[in-house]
Amino acid sequence: MGRSYTLNPAPDGQRQGPAIDYRAELNDQQYAAVTAPPGPALVIAGAGSGKTRTLTYRVAYLLDNGIAAENILLLTFTNKAAREMLLRVEELVPYDTHRLWSGTFHSIGNRLLRLHPERVGLGRNFSILDREDQKDLLKAAVDDASIDTRGLRFPKPEVLADIFSMVVNTGVELDELLATRYSYFDQLLEPIAKVHEAYRRRKLDANCVDFDDLLELPLQLLRENPEIARHFQHQFQFILVDEYQDTNRIQSDLIDTLGRHHGNIMVVGDDAQSIYSWRGADFENILKFPERYPRAQVFKIETNYRSVPEILDLANASIARNERQFTKNLQPALPARQQRPALIALDTPSVQANFVAQRLQELWEQDGVPLEEMAVLYRAHFHSMELQMELTRRGLPFRITSGLRFFEQAHIKDVAAVMRFIANRRDEVSFKRITKLFDGLGPASADSLWLQWLKQPAARAAELPESFSDIMLPFKTPKKARAQWDQFAYTLDELTEGGGPAPPATMINVILEAFYDEVLQATYKNYEPRRQDLEQLARFSEDYESIDDLLAQLALLSSADTQGAPPGGSSDPEDGMVTLSTVHQAKGLEWRAVFVISLAEGMFPNGRVIDEGDPGSMEEERRLFYVAVTRAKEELYLTYPKLWFHARAGEVMQRPGRFLEELPRGLSEEWSIHTPF
């Protein structure tokens, strides 16, 4: 008969190996935060100061001092960050960390809900909707609400999901949210509210939750069930929060609720890197933490291990202009490089692109800087259009973290499809792409309309028809799409008025104003940036007299291979390529050489923020600039074009953005650029 033997894990709090010398492995500021006594604590960890190291050692320190793993809650913004921290903890201390509660707010919310789903109206095996599932349920909710979408552009499911998510995460009422963030849907408040209620009912009926419910329902669970709240408040003796400056209202409330008994809450972040208000993050959470917790200790970690002193001097001087902040002064751990950040004014966006591409090539070929150690950052995606074209022409491989390459984006391809159909009336792909933009027209309707078009002599004629509308208005379409189809037919007339295609730039502007602007509003949650993309495409198109030449150029740029590594480069797809990114997407990353482009007033800082005149929003723009410059380790280039095209004003002279003009003299070196072409 065999023998049964149970292997037990080593008891928490009983070290089996050599102790960590915390004093030797941490600098003084890190050590103070890591070894802080119980109680609320705010750790302001400056850019490049070892924030993750501080959090990791804090977890190890708690375990080393007898705190059981299950009594620690570690909240992060990505599961990857939580996994990496725990792996590092396990390398530092010989304790089992599997019982430690760690992960994103959503994953922890899911764990809490699974224990008591019936208390919030859910069944035991509730499902979590992914994005596609959520879209399907929202479509059904629109039907449930009996919304008559004929003759109006009702928001698509993706846009509705974004609206409802903002309501949950910001606590702003739906009517106020529409008035401030989605003013073009303000007149649809009543039907959108009906859909919101129908969507809530659908989720409960289906025993499903979406990602926002994973925050809202756990908080509801704790607030409505004091005995459950007390259980977790006693269990989580120490709560650690990463990237606290990025929390929204509901996440902050969840932390405060769970930490109410012990008050041992340590939040780590950098107020100077709070840049996500547009997706619901609340800057007040970190700024007012000491007010909510009067006994809180505030630790500042200011030694920067990333950037050379010349870059830090510029960053410190810039962020010092913000009034609402925890004052800090980043100190370099690296020696001086004797090379100040470069400030470069270029004549036009095209010249700017030429300069950046040439300098990237020089740094790679002459100075030996790997392509993957260089990045170009910008405020808005369309600022990179000319640069993408120039890098493609030079054969310099690049990757884009801020989305698709400019000419591959759906809204660019939609507008190009209208122009392609005018140029080639037998272009079935373009025709069907256009028809699917209209409400109620799916693949079957697109096939039907295409067959109706093919029966017309104009479909195969060499010349443009005298009137598209005379031909297309009689076509049979679903009632829901009738008004939009008719508008499209009249738009084609306007684009070909005078017997030939209008100039390419005119065509783009007409398409946008005639019907496509409404498509953008109803289809995409980031309407404004996409409209700016199209306005910039119109500017780019002014260099082309022929629609055929423009379409050929767009096709070549869209299909260009930018993903291959340079000769002798790494086979790793992340290597051998320059990074192009918005500043928002670049947070948390670093490169040896960084170019921050289009730093003109109205571009960076953003023109809308300037027009609104809100000091808080302008301070966030300055924080965004601070994030951009602190991504650079050794070399920093700040550029702006002196001439820029504005959709309504045409070409105008640009002045350097205020974040450049604010810099004290001597912190940057002005370059004089000669353009012989």
Told to judge if 149 belongs to the known catalytic residues of this protein, a careful annotator would answer: no
Rounded distance between C-alpha atoms, residue 284 and residue 60, angstroms: 30
CA dihedral of residues 172, 173, 177, 180 (deg, nearest 10): -80
Cβ atoms of 668 and 599 closer than 8 Å:
no
Rounded distance between C-alpha atoms, residue 428 and residue 454, angstroms: 10
Rounded distance between C-alpha atoms, residue 591 and residue 344, angstroms: 20
Query: In terms of DSSP bridges, do strands 650-653 and 643-646 run parallel, antiparallel, or are they unpaired?
Result: antiparallel
Question: Within 13 Å, how many C-alpha atoms sit on residue 353's CB side?
Answer: 18
* Alpha helices (H) along 236-308: 249-258, 283-287, 289-292
Rounded distance between C-alpha atoms, residue 571 and residue 434, angstroms: 39
Question: Within 13 Å, how many C-alpha atoms sit on residue 261's CB side?
Answer: 16
Cβ atoms of 48 and 304 closer than 8 Å:
yes
Rounded distance between C-alpha atoms, residue 527 and residue 484, angstroms: 19
CA distances from 281 to 277, 285, 442 (A): 5, 9, 37
Cβ atoms of 384 and 378 closer than 8 Å:
yes
Cβ atoms of 489 and 473 closer than 8 Å:
yes
Rounded distance between C-alpha atoms, residue 344 and residue 672, angstroms: 7
What is the residue whose two structure tokens read 């950046």? 356
Q: What's the residue count for the chain?
A: 677
What is residue 117's DSSP assignment? G
Rounded distance between C-alpha atoms, residue 371 and residue 369, angstroms: 6
* Alpha helices (H) along 76-156: 79-92, 105-115, 131-144
Question: Within 13 Å, how many C-alpha atoms sit on residue 424's CB side?
Answer: 12
Rounded distance between C-alpha atoms, residue 309 and residue 298, angstroms: 25
Query: In terms of DSSP bridges, do strands 238-241 and 591-596 run parallel, antiparallel, or are they unpaired?
Result: unpaired
Strand-pair partners of 240:
74, 266
What is residue 514's DSSP assignment? I
Catalytic residue among 97, 245, 247, 273: 273
DSSP 3-state assignment of 592?
A: strand
Catalytic residue among 210, 212, 216, 242: 242
Told to judge if 243 belongs to the known catalytic residues of this protein, a careful annotator would answer: yes
Catalytic residue among 30, 51, 539, 639: 51
- Angle among Cα 267, 232, 85 to the nearest 5 degrees reads 40
Rounded distance between C-alpha atoms, residue 74 and residue 101, angstroms: 6
As given in the structure block, the two tokens for residue 208 are 């499903």
Catalytic residue among 328, 631, 633, 658: 631
Cβ atoms of 411 and 517 closer than 8 Å:
no
What is residue 665's DSSP assignment? T
Contacts of 593 by beta carbon, 8 Å cutoff, 6+ apart: 363, 369, 373, 374, 375, 632, 634, 635, 636, 637
In 3D, which of 12, 62, 9 has the Cα closest to residue 37?
A: 62
Catalytic residue among 15, 35, 52, 297: 52
As given in the structure block, the two tokens for residue 168 are 């949950």
Catalytic residue among 213, 243, 270, 282: 243
Q: Which amino acid is at 1?
A: M
Q: Which helix (H) or strand (E) holds 365?
A: helix 349-365
Question: Within 13 Å, how many C-alpha atoms sit on residue 43's CB side?
Answer: 29
Cβ atoms of 519 and 412 closer than 8 Å:
no
Told to judge if 30 belongs to the known catalytic residues of this protein, a careful annotator would answer: no
Told to judge if 242 belongs to the known catalytic residues of this protein, a careful annotator would answer: yes
Catalytic residue ranges: 51-52, 242-243, 273, 631
